[in-house]
Structure 1
């Protein structure tokens, strides 16, 4: 009887051991979406130190990639956006002026720099339009590495499937 009980216990252990569940985890975040905030009527004057603070509608994650573009031209062919930092030079190759930016989880600061900003044409200082593109770090750092030219707004828009209808517009 001991041998039969031992045999049944052994068979039971083998049977129960083979009943394991293999769960496959999907670590891809499929609901994370890139966002675009557009700031219009931005003035960069001596009164504000030639800089403007573009406050985000909500905090972003510390790991997110933030790209800031400036509208430089528009027409029937579409808008032309340039990635900051952006620099303009005199004909002799010396620095004339440029735009720079930095950002936190809550905002991006855009600054105008150069040697003679008071005499710079108002075309470059007043009524500027900026777009801030927030890309979740997983997408920005993993999938686009080496595949995407971030300076080309239209490529970024296409790659991350950014919809112009969903751009959050903010007037300054």
Structure 2
């Protein structure tokens, strides 16, 4: 019986190895089928990134209010992130590079703690200052001409868990938005 199994194994191995050879010519393409009925269009999920510049003062109660225009559709389930232009540096070629920080951001000042914070609805964003001291004592560098980047992320993108929302470049990359596509708005 052992000889039989050995001979059978040798034939099977020889048979499997002998099935190789040069590949034959490709076959002919089949006929194209009929077109089907088009399906309904899906929802186009897009994000948006907007830069706004404004000044905090007593007349606006140290808040900058931005209402989304009709051209920006924000759904209740979308996530709105706000970044503060914290500083600028230069790259190896001497070109400016923006440094963005995700809000809320807290600064420790001589007067006490200052926090840049925000809230939003699907209609607007309100960026405001909070502190444990009188805001009228702030220096112009903390209040005047502050630049914020608002990123509107579809719920699906924000909830994937793979997106680093603390990094604006990562967010813009996920949305497929380049720097030259960012709308810039100066508020009065």
> Would the TM-score normalized by the shorter structure come out above 0.5?
yes
Find the aligned partners of 1:90 and 1:123 in 2 and give their Cα distance.
12
CA shift at 1:131, angstroms?
Answer: 0.9
Tell me which of 67, 83, 108 is aligned to 1:89.
108
1:53 has 2:70 as partner: no
Q: What is the CA–CA distance in structure 2 between the aligned matches of 1:138 and 1:170, rounded to whole Å?
A: 27
Select the residue among 149, 153, 156 that pairs with 2:168.
153
Contact residue 37 and residue 56 of structure 1 kept, 8 A: no
- 1:145-165: per-residue Cα shift (whole Å, max 9, x none)? 1x2321121222223322112
SS of residue paired to 2:59: helix
Gap change, CA 1:90 and 1:171, over 3 Å in 2: closer
Give the CA deviation at 1:75: 3.1
The residue correspondences of 1:5-84 to structure 2 (distance < 5 A) are: 31-40=44-53, 42-58=54-70, 59-77=73-91, 78-84=97-103
Moved over 3 A (4+): 25-29
TM-score (norm 1): 0.73
- CA deviation vs aligned residue, 1:106-161 (integer Å, no higher than 9, x gap): 110000111132111111101001111001112211x3x1x232112122222332
Task: Output the CA distance in 1 between the equivalents of 2:55 and 2:123.
Answer: 20
- The correspondence for 1:119, drawn from 137, 161, 164, is 137
1:81 positional shift: 0.7
Cα distance in 1, alignment partners of residues 56 and 109 from structure 2: 21
Contact conserved, 2:49 with 2:150, CA < 8 A, in 1?
yes
Cα distance 1:122–1:169, how it changes in 2: closer, same or farther (>3 A)? same
Relative distance call for 1:43 and 1:149 in structure 2 (3 A) is: same
Deviation, 1:95, is 5.0
Bigger Rg over Cα:
2
How far apart in 1 are the matches of 2:171 and 2:90? 21
Deviation of 1:89 after TM superposition, in Å, equals 2.4
